[in-house]
Chains A and B, each alone.
Chain A
Amino acid sequence: MFNVIEVDRLTHYYGPRQSLDGLTFEVRQGEVFGLLGPNGAGKTTTIRLLNGLFTPTSGTIRVLGLDPARQGEQVRARTGVLTETPALYERLTARQNLMFFATLSGVPARERAERVNWLLEQFDLTARADDLAGAFSKGMKQRLALARAMLHRPELLFLDEPTAGLDPEASAQVRDWIAEVTRQEGMTVVLCTHILSEAERLCDRVAIMAPRRLLAVGSLDELAQRLLPGQRLQVELYEPCSIDFPRLRALPGVLGVETGANPAGPARELVVQIKDASIVPDVASALMQMGARLLRLQPEHVSLEDVYFKLQQSAEEVRA
């Protein structure tokens, strides 16, 4: 598996204002890579730089082995971009929009109509193919914009906030389409989003950004291990019980214990930070020896949201 994108110490200024500061990351072939961060973090600027719309102030970028600043035309012939707004020609029909972009994207003339029809069908737009795009709902516009981004079978697809502003049903549909069509076409995907549940569901690896800079890169498991080591075990007792916390903390593999507001008094719920799931039976056994009657023992899943906020909080502390 080779790197489709390689970014090294990328810095960019809009006039006197710095927009990116020393970004370094790579995207591997065939993965769905998430670029996460708050509004204004520099996600869209990064996409523009990766497609040669802007030139880096310093640092290097390789996209599909090419330098986008000097070989932008060749890069864009092999990438597809779903922009933050659908950016459709609303006075043209869905088919006219796609045929126009197929011509500009270099789809051979003899294949254009067939490719457009296939994409209209894939995105469930065939029945409305000859209606003006301006008459479409938000969800339909987003599907049409997605179809446009995929017209020339790009090897690398950039999706900038693909479900922004859509209702939950339309968002789910768009997510399903992304998963299905990218799988069928074997594309590498870079997904920019601030919807963390979406990134968690779709991405193999993520890069988390704070304004202008990168905080961390990796898979959710890697980031969770690095930032929130161990696992959280939620414990609920049938009735309040006095727990011997020092003894519990002394168990091999237990990293810490969180209690309620009154640690000295009897507890009914507690969270035990453990190295991994193999410690769970030892914790259960120790609690029972202390006279606790167990109602529930549940290892807690570390979500991308936990990792994300941990990173943003650390970044905030460093800034402060």
Chain B
Amino acid sequence: MNFERIWAIARKDWREVRRNRSAWLPMVIVPLIFVVVLPAGLLLAAGSDLEYAQMAFNDPELELMLRALPPAMTAYLDGLDLVQSGIVLFLGYLFAPFFLIMPIMFAAVIAAESFAGELERKTLEALLYTPVRDSELFLGKVLAAGVPAFAVTLFSFLGYTLVVNGLGWPVMGRVWFPLPAWYPLIFWVTPAISALGIGATVLISARVKTFMGAYQLSGSLVLVVLALLVGQATGVLYLGVAAALIIGAVLWVIAAALLAVGIRTFRRSTILVKG
């Protein structure tokens, strides 16, 4: 295995993505909405008029949701007033699945650009005529999609931490974020879901001929994350530390299986016949 070649393939793909607006624009806009716009809107509204905020949070359904929280979470809300509890519930809890949408989406967009995009632009053949091995080519492309997906999510997490603590200071009066469940979520579940997105996109790319085709199909993976979001919002599932560890392990197993199938089917002769 030649790591210089793997690294060169990944770097080449990043350079190409940087010059392809339809590939990088979602990576800027989506984090901006989740990390800055939504939390800032909520925090600024709560901080600007506390009386109104108390009225707004004094909602029977919200109280119902607060009462249904698991003990680990309710312990965290002890001593907080209604507005503070509402902020912790929304920004520290219900927003968590948004951070799973980002890696799956970015991994899918870069992998689609990298695998199906090269085939579509007919650049892959020249690459296949080099001495690079099929496995090196595959790993280079997995790296090309996985690293930025995880990096953007990580930076978004850091940005989110700054925004919710900074703009939330007038209401919360202390640094309260991240909650414990966020660590396994960001460092265990997020890379797993990136790998899952890549594995699925590689398999989809082997069956479609265009970047958009691959991207649209793999984009449907976001539905898995939306299911988590709905589960959280309805109280069916609470993403605590244990749940995050279990979900992460399951996702890693699925991702490993998809990548294993991907690497077995990623053969020069098959790719060329398809192209």
Contacts and interface: CB of A to CB of B under 8 A. Distances in A.
Most interface-central of A53, A92, A96 (chain B CB within 10 A): A53
B131 A90 contact: no
A53 B9 CA distance: 19
A104 B269 contact: no
B8 A83 contact: no
A87 interface: yes
Contact of B123 (A14, A76, A80, A89): A89
Interface string B120-133: 01111111111111
Given A89-B12, A103-B8, A83 B131 contact: no
A104 B121 contact: no
Contacts, number: 72
Interface string B8-26: 1100100110011000000
B204 to A, nearest CB: 22
Contacts of B126: 81, 83, 87-88, 101, 145, 148
A76 B129 CA distance: 6
B60 to A, nearest CB: 55
A53 B268 contact: yes
Given A48-B272, A73-B133, A104-B130, A87 B122 contact: yes
A53 B275 CA distance: 13
B109 to A, nearest CB: 15
Secondary structure call for the B interface: helix
B124 to A, nearest CB: 8
Given A73-B131, A103-B5, A103-B8, A85 B15 contact: no
Given A53-B129, A76-B130, A91 B8 contact: no
A163 interface: no
B273 interface: yes
B132 A91 contact: no
B4 interface: yes
A231 interface: no
B122 A85 contact: yes
Contacts of B130: 76, 101, 104-105
A92 B122 contact: no
A91 B20 CA distance: 8
Nearest to A90: B121
A51 B126 CA distance: 12
A252 B12 CA distance: 70
Contacts of A145: 126
Interface in A120-157: 132, 145, 148
A15 B269 CA distance: 11
Nearest to A47: B129
A143 to B, nearest CB: 15
A77 interface: yes
Interface string A22-57: 000000000000000000000000001001111100
Interface in A173-193: none
Contacts of A265: none
A245 interface: no
Most interface-central of B4, B123, B131 (chain A CB within 10 A): B131
Contact of A100 (B8, B122, B129): B8
Contact of B16 (A54, A55, A76, A91): A91
Interface in A93-107: 96, 100-101, 103-106
Contacts of B125: 83, 85, 87
Given A87-B122, A91-B20, A104-B132, A53 B15 contact: no
Contacts of A132: 19
Given A104-B127, A105-B130, A54 B272 contact: yes
Given A96-B15, A148-B126, A53 B269 contact: yes
B5 to A, nearest CB: 5
Contact of A92 (B4, B12, B128, B272): B12
B115 to A, nearest CB: 15
A73 B133 CA distance: 7
A225 B232 CA distance: 84
B102 to A, nearest CB: 24
A74 to B, nearest CB: 8
Interface string B128-150: 11111100000000000000000
A159 to B, nearest CB: 12
A55 B269 CA distance: 8
Contacts of B19: 91, 132
B203 to A, nearest CB: 20
B205 to A, nearest CB: 18
Given A48-B272, A91-B20, A92-B15, A106 B131 contact: yes
A30 to B, nearest CB: 22
The 6 closest A-B pairs by CB, nearest first: A87-B126, A91-B19, A77-B131, A103-B8, A104-B130, A81-B129
Interface of A: 14-15, 48, 51-55, 72-74, 76-77, 79-81, 83, 85, 87-92, 96, 100-101, 103-106, 109, 132, 145, 148
8 contacts: A53-B269, A81-B129, A83-B129, A85-B122, A89-B12, A100-B8, A103-B4, A106-B131
